[in-house]
Amino acid sequence: MTSMHELHEYTTPRYFFILPAKSRDWVMIELVQNIFQLYFKLYFLCECSNGPNELHIAPHNGYSIIKLNEFVSRYGSYLQKTFNAVQFLCRLGGIPIPQIMSAKAPSNDAEQKLTKIQSFLGKHQTKLSIANSSSIQKQKTPQTYPIQGADLRELESYLERVDSTRTLGNLYRIITDDGHVRWVCQKHFDEISHNNTMTTYIKQIQAMNGDYDETNKQVNLNQLKLTGANVKVISEALKQGLNISKLILNHCSIYDTYFDDLLEIFINMSSVHCLEIINVNLLNKVKIIIYLFEY
């Protein structure tokens, strides 16, 4: 239900901020009384974490904002809060934004510019406050309140799109293992996808009454008859990169052909460093052959 709700609500990335697009606009910002004489761009943040100190700017040059008057009226209150998170990132070491800030620029310089634009927006913001919904989850300090619903779905109408793909800010929408929707960059998309896949394999191992020790990266299969389906799950998990350093087969039974297949994967295609076999029965499809392994 969480995933269904958020897939409907979070149709675009939730965390964004705006900055003057040209260096001269930084100089003009205190002189110009009308904000709409300036040229702004919108930048997204990768939603790779719930902690502001782990967020980063999306790998994109930003989007020119159209209908700036309406945009500021609608999203002004929210932008006041997203600036807090961006300033926090600056204090941690800077936020390189193409054509705006250099990675080598002092973080306090970037922070001062952000404070300037935040104050400027505060003076010109009108009407709508978007951060007052009781259903919105709060982030860790500094607090950021993600918008949702119609306000988020209509964000794209204020952006001048230069990319033909659906990936805003080169971000990809993904469902995390706990069922929440996030927009993340390619790197974190791959990491989250991999982690979700590994979690699925762990659940499948546990479903066959196997035990997975996350701390020690150890799998213990105790008193199980390992069927072809069981062996397939273990084999695929190992081939796809599930980190298992030790596998214990304790008082299990398995057909010899399946056992041979597992051994080949253990040796050539897995992270298993130690295979511990205790009283394992190898079965033959014609007759039962019992081997007792005691290690």
**6 and 131 assigned to the same domain:** yes
167 & 213 share domain: no
Range among 3-7, 73-77, 103-107 with highest mean pLDDT value: 73-77
Partners of 247 in beta bridges? 219, 275
Q: Write down the pLDDT at residue 92.
A: 63
* Claim to verify: residue 169 and residue 237 sit in the same structural domain: no
**Which pTM was predicted?**
0.64
Q: How high is the pLDDT of residue 139?
A: 35
Per-residue pLDDT reduced to its tens digit, 45-78: 888 877 666 778 888 888 888 888 888 888 887 8
Please give the residue that has the higher pLDDT: either 163 or 258: 258
Q: Which domain holds residue 277?
A: 208-283
- State the pairing for strand pair 40-46/218-222: unpaired
Q: What percent of the chain has a predicted confidence (pLDDT) above 70?
A: 72
Asked whether residue 116 falls in the same domain as residue 260, the answer is no
Domain termination site, one of 184, 199, 233? 184
| Any domain includes 203 | no
Q: What is the model's pLDDT at position 223? A: 92
User: Does 143 score more than 50 pLDDT?
Assistant: no
Same domain, 49 and 155: yes
3-state SS class at 210: coil
Predicted pLDDT of residue 132: 38
pLDDT in tens, 108-122: 666 677 777 777 777
Q: How confident is the model at residue 164 (pLDDT cuts 50, 70, 90)?
A: low
Look up residue 226 and give its two tokens: 């390992």
Least confident of 159-173, 196-210, 215-229, 269-283: 159-173
For the residues 201-206, what does the mean pLDDT come to? 92
- Do residue 244 and residue 131 come from a single domain? no
Query: For the sheet containing 246-250, what is the strand order?
Result: 211-213, 218-222, 246-250, 274-278
User: Is 149 or 166 the better-scoring residue by pLDDT?
Assistant: 149
The share of the chain scoring above pLDDT 90, in percent, equals 12
State the average pLDDT over residues 136-157. Answer: 61
pLDDT tier at 137, thresholds 50, 70, 90: very low
Out of 122, 150, 184, a domain closes at 184
288 within a domain of the structure (yes/no): no
Are both 254 and 143 inside the same structural domain? no
What integer pLDDT is reported at residue 114 of this predicted model? 74
Q: What would the two tokens of residue 62 be? A: 């930003």
**For residues 56 and 93, is the Cβ–Cβ distance under 8 A?**
no
245 and 166, same domain (yes or no): no
Q: What's the chain's average pLDDT?
A: 76
193 is a domain residue: no
State the amino acid at position 168 in one-letter form. Answer: L
Whether 86 is covered by a domain: the verdict is yes
Predicted pLDDT at 249: 92
pLDDT of residue 271: 82
The pLDDT of residue 256 is above 70: yes
**Quick one: average pLDDT of 141-149?**
55
Residue 198 is assigned to a structural domain of this protein: no
Rounded CA-CA distance 117/106 in Å is 17
Name residue 159's beta-bridge partners. 65
Q: Are residues 122 and 237 in the same domain?
A: no
Mean pLDDT of 278-284: 87
User: Would 293 be classed as within a structural domain?
Assistant: no
Exposure on the CB side of residue 99, measured as CA atoms within 13 A? 15
- My answer on whether 28 and 164 are in the same domain is yes
Is residue 249 a part of any domain in this protein? yes
**Same domain as 223, residue 106:** no
Q: Residue 100: inside a domain, yes or no?
A: yes
Same structural domain for residues 157 and 225?
no
- Per DSSP (E only), the strands in the chain are 16-20, 40-46, 56-57, 63-65, 159-160, 172-175, 181-184, 211-213, 218-222, 225-226, 246-250, 253-255, 274-278, 281-283
Residue 35 φ then ψ, to 5°: -60, -25
**CA–CA dist 85, 51 (Å, integer):** 10
Q: What is the DSSP letter of 158?
A: G
Q: Which CATH number fits the domain that encloses residue 270? A: 3.30.750
Q: How many structural domains comprise the chain?
A: 2
